Every structure is written in C-alpha cells, then in structure tokens.
C-alpha cells in the first residue's frame, strides 16, 4: 500500500537524522495522524447532520402544506357562515 511505502521511507529518513530532530519529526507525524482522524470524524458528522437537516426540512414542508390546506378549509367554512348569517338578516 502507498501509505506503508511512505512510512517506510519516512522511517529511513528519520533514522538518518539526529535523535532530537527525529523525535520531533515523529511527534509531528503522530499529531498529523490525530488531525487526520479528527477531520474524518468531522466529515462524517457534517454528512450526518446534513442528512438530518434535510429530513427535518422535508417534515416542515409537509406540515406547512397541511396547515395551508386547513387554512383554506377554515376560510371556506367562514365564507359559508357569513352567507348564512347574511340570509338570516
């Protein structure tokens, strides 16, 4: 795998360097690995939150449509009641 080849080359380079520098380089590699893992988790989190937000917006649109239908029905009932009240007068 490519990653193993890179790590093998990195280990050879680090073994040539003085111990102080090699320790700092290895610490930097560990930090970069940790950051990579954090980025992967963040990406998964963003994708999941995007999907949940999409579903939430779809539910809200569905509720808005139902509320509009109820509003239309209430308006039609109100008009009919107004007509009936005018006929009584």
In this predicted model, what pLDDT tens digit does every residue of 8-39 receive, in sequence order?
666 676 667 677 777 787 888 889 999 999 99
Return the C-alpha torsion angle 78, 79, 84, 85, nearest 10.
Answer: 70
Model pTM score: 0.58
More confident: 69 or 1: 69
Rounded to 5°, angle at Cα 64 from 72 and 50: 165
Supply the range of the domain harboring residue 54.
2-88
What residue has token string 């009919």? Answer: 80
Number of domains in the chain: 1
| Residue pair 5/12 in contact by the 8 Å Cβ criterion | no
Give me the chain's average pLDDT, please.
Answer: 86
Question: How many residues in total does the chain contain?
Answer: 89
Lowest-pLDDT range, 25-29, 41-45, 55-59?
A: 25-29
| Token pair for 65 | 């449509």
What residue has token string 């005018």? Answer: 86
């Amino acid at each position: 795998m490519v990653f193993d080849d890179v790590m093998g080359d990195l280990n050879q380079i680090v073994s040539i360097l003085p111990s102080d520098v090699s320790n700092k380089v290895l610490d930097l590699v560990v930090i970069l690995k940790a950051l990579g893992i954090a980025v992967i988790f963040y990406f998964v989190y963003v994708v999941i939150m995007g999907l949940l937000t999409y579903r939430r917006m779809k539910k809200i649109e569905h509720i808005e449509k139902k509320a509009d239908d109820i509003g239309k029905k209430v308006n039609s009932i109100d008009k009919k009641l107004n007509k009936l009240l005018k006929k009584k007068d």
